[in-house]
């Protein structure tokens, strides 16, 4: 590990040598590394690029430029926050998710790449639902316009990532997003409004399926619920366990408590043939598939992998049996 100077950037000591872009970047990378940050160099670059209002590559063309005292004053507190292991995305206030650039911050889970694959699974199902039926002549070379009339429910919507991506990319007309966290719902509303989707995403506060009215039925129920087990708590990085909201992460002793309730209750919110799609934790997929198969009420239960090759998504269609919610 490289030695970190006792005095340096965060303490704002007067220095004879100017803090050029390159010197600031190298010093900050060493500083973050000494604090245990895994991607120290990259994070230092992102933070500096953010303050300078440049892309990372553009910044390389300005290596020798000294930072102004205003830029240094803006940079120091951001670097300190990251050194305390606050996630880079909270410090920058943003996270990319599929085609979206979402606002994130303390109080909301940072959307993960594996959840992009959950969106992909729902999209594939939705597009197949809305595909031209075999034998329909749409005219040579002309694509039939996709009716965008499906509805969805995103349970534990967090930043709104799943619902907003599906509204943007898929044949969906409307989503309802629910969450127990007021902070999450606040951020989801900001993201929704920034995308001009306020007419198409309705946010409701409440636990699990409780905010859904008894006569409401959706084409899709999708959720990335909290699923980390008590046993796995110790394996989480400080960025996660010390900073992200516990209610977004932990799903009881075996991690499956929220998932069990969703599998039991989602049918009453689905139209016959509608899709339930859940993200699950490592090693949970088979147990969750078994839960869906157990009552004989779901059909076409499938396990799908994320881009890292891990079994990550469990999906099934609702048989249409007439159960009452909460029964």
Binding site for ligand SAM (CB under 6 A): 109, 111, 115, 155-159, 161-162, 178-181, 184, 207-208, 224-226, 247-248, 258
* Strands lying side by side in the sheet with 311-318: 201-205, 172-179, 150-155, 218-223, 270-279, 311-318, 298-305
Q: Which is nearer to ligand SAM, 117 or 157 (CB)?
A: 157
Q: How far is the CB of 140 from ligand SAM (least distance, A)?
A: 41
By a kind-dependent CB cut-off of 5 to 8 A, residue 264 interacts, out of ligand SAM, ligand GLN, none, with none
Rounded distance between C-alpha atoms, residue 276 and residue 274, angstroms: 7
By a kind-dependent CB cut-off of 5 to 8 A, residue 184 interacts, out of ligand SAM, ligand GLN, none, with ligand SAM
Distances (CA, A) of 223 to 67, 152, 181, 247: 45, 10, 15, 14
Q: How far is the CB of 166 from ligand SAM (least distance, A)?
A: 11
Q: Which is nearer to ligand GLN, 31 or 227 (CB)?
A: 227
Nearest-CB residue to ligand GLN?
227
By a kind-dependent CB cut-off of 5 to 8 A, residue 179 interacts, out of ligand SAM, ligand GLN, none, with ligand SAM
Q: Which is nearer to ligand GLN, 177 or 226 (CB)?
A: 226
Neighbours of 194 (CB within 10 A): 14
Q: Which is nearer to ligand GLN, 237 or 323 (CB)?
A: 237
Q: Which alpha helices (DSSP H) does the chain contain, by range?
A: 21-34, 40-52, 56-60, 69-83, 88-92, 113-129, 161-169, 182-194, 238-241, 246-249, 257-265, 285-294
Of residues 208 through 267, those in contact with ligand GLN by CB under 6 A are 224, 226-228, 240, 249
Q: Which is nearer to ligand SAM, 147 or 207 (CB)?
A: 207
Query: Which residues fall within 8 angstroms of residue 318, CB to CB, at 6 or more apart?
Result: 266, 267, 270, 271, 272, 273, 274, 275, 276, 297, 298, 299
Instruction: Tell whether residue 26 is a contact of ligand GLN (CB under 6 A).
Output: no
- The number of C-alpha atoms within 13 Å of 326 and in the hemisphere containing its C-beta is 8
CA angle 315, 317, 321 (to 5 degrees): 140
Count helices and strands (H / E) in the chain. Answer: 12, 9
Q: How far is the CB of 227 from ligand GLN (least distance, A)?
A: 4
In the shown chain, the binding pattern of residues 95 to 134 toward ligand GLN, with x for contact by CB under 6 A and - for none, equals -----------------x----------------------
Contact (CB, 8 A) for 245 and 183:
yes
By a kind-dependent CB cut-off of 5 to 8 A, residue 5 interacts, out of ligand GLN, ligand SAM, none, with none
Q: How far is the CB of 155 from ligand GLN (least distance, A)?
A: 11
Q: Which is nearer to ligand GLN, 46 or 227 (CB)?
A: 227
By a kind-dependent CB cut-off of 5 to 8 A, residue 28 interacts, out of ligand GLN, ligand SAM, none, with none
Query: Which residues fall within 8 angstroms of residue 314, CB to CB, at 6 or more apart?
Result: 277, 278, 280, 285, 288, 289, 292, 301, 302, 303, 304
Contact (CB, 8 A) for 187 and 108:
yes
Q: Is residue 94 classed as helix, strand or coil in its secondary structure?
A: strand
Q: Which is nearer to ligand GLN, 223 or 317 (CB)?
A: 223
Q: Which is nearer to ligand GLN, 219 or 279 (CB)?
A: 279
By a kind-dependent CB cut-off of 5 to 8 A, residue 228 interacts, out of ligand SAM, ligand GLN, none, with ligand GLN
Applying CB under 6 A, the residues found at the interface with ligand GLN are 112, 224, 226-228, 240, 249, 279
């Amino acid at each position: 590990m490289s030695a970190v100077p006792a005095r340096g950037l965060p303490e704002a000591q007067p220095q004879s040598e100017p803090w050029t872009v390159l010197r600031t970047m190298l010093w900050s990378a060493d500083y973050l590394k000494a604090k245990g940050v895994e991607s120290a160099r990259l994070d230092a670059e992102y933070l500096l690029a953010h303050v300078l209002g440049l892309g990372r590559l553009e910044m390389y063309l300005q290596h020798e430029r000294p930072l102004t005292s205003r830029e240094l004053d803006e940079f120091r507190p951001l670097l300190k926050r990251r050194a305390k292991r606050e996630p880079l995305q909270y410090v920058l206030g943003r996270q990319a998710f599929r085609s979206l650039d979402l606002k994130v911050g303390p109080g909301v889970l940072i959307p993960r790449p594996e959840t992009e694959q959950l969106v992909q699974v729902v999209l594939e199902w939705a597009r197949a639902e809305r595909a031209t039926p075999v034998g329909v002549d749409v005219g040579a070379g002309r694509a039939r316009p996709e009716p965008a009339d499906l509805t969805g429910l995103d349970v534990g919507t967090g930043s709104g990532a799943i619902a907003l991506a599906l509204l943007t990319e898929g044949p969906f007309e409307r989503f309802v997003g629910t969450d127990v966290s007021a902070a999450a719902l606040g951020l989801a509303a900001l993201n929704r409004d920034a995308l001009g989707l306020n007419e198409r995403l309705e946010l409701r506060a409440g636990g699990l399926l409780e905010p859904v009215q008894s006569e409401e039925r959706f084409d899709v129920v999708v959720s990335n619920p909290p699923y980390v087990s008590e046993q796995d708590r110790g394996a989480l990085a400080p960025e996660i366990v010390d900073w992200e909201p516990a209610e977004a992460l932990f799903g009881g002793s075996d991690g499956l408590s929220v998932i069990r309730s969703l599998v039991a209750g989602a049918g009453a919110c689905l139209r016959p043939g509608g899709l339930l799609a859940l993200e699950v934790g490592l090693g949970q997929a088979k147990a969750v598939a078994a839960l869906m198969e157990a009552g004989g009420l779901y059909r076409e239960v499938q396990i799908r992998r994320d881009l890292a090759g891990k079994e990550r998504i469990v999906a099934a269609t609702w048989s249409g049996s007439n159960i009452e919610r909460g029964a």
